[in-house]
Amino acid sequence: MFCGIVAGDVPSVKVAEDETTCAFMDINPASDGHLLVVPKRHSKDLFEIPADDLTAVTLAAQRVAKAAAGAFGADGVNLLNCCGADAWQSVFHFHLHVIPRYTDKAKDRLVLPWKPEVPGDAEAIAILGGRISAAVASQQT
Ligand SMILES: [Zn+2]
């Protein structure tokens, strides 16, 4: 579907485009100005996207985030990527959500079930951190 948007076969509100990326408005916006940034070259998800496309998409997301925040007077921005159906990915073409956030809830409908005020178990967090750090170290090539 996003390949169709990139190609112009599927209608969308494009807001920015360069050689490798395309940014367009989300049709189910969580807030005013919610948009998506995708690589033009198809990649399924975070695990598959080549480094150069990921870099380009991230830098494009920063540009449109600044532009959208400035244009709408946003009080903040969330970047969100969903990788896998269990992580809420519903379109399997890599995309970064750029979600301007507002104190004014009339412009901001984003509500997650996440409750960050509930403290985690510090010991369990340290153990998980150690496992991730070992996995990152074993990845170096
Ligand atoms: Zn695609």
Q: Across residues 79-83, what is the average pLDDT?
A: 95
Is 68 in contact with 31 (CB distance < 8 Å)? no
Phi and psi angles of residue 38, each rounded to the nearest 5 degrees, phi first: -130, 155
- pLDDT value at position 19? 96
Amino acid 106: pLDDT: 84
Å from CA of 9 to ligand 1 middle: 12
The CATH homologous superfamily for domain 2-112 is HIT-like (3.30.428.10)
Res 77: pLDDT: 94
Calculate how far, in angstroms, residue 72's C-alpha sits from the geometric centre of ligand 1. Answer: 29
Instruction: Return the active site residues.
Output: 95
The pLDDT of residue 113 is 64
Q: What is the pLDDT of residues 84-125, one digit of tens each?
A: 999 999 999 999 999 999 998 888 888 776 665 667 788 888
Tell me the pLDDT band of 126, cut-offs 50, 70 and 90: confident
Q: Which residues contact 63 (CB under 8 A, 6 or more apart)?
A: 16
Give residue 80 CA to ligand 1 midpoint distance, Å: 18
**How close is the Cα of 1 to the center of ligand 1, in Å?**
6
* Burial of 63 (C-beta count, 10 Å sphere; 0-12/13-18/19+): middle
Q: What is the pLDDT of residue 92?
A: 97
The pTM (predicted TM-score) of the whole model is 0.84
39 C-alpha to center of ligand 1: Å? 9
The predicted pLDDT at position 71 comes to: 85
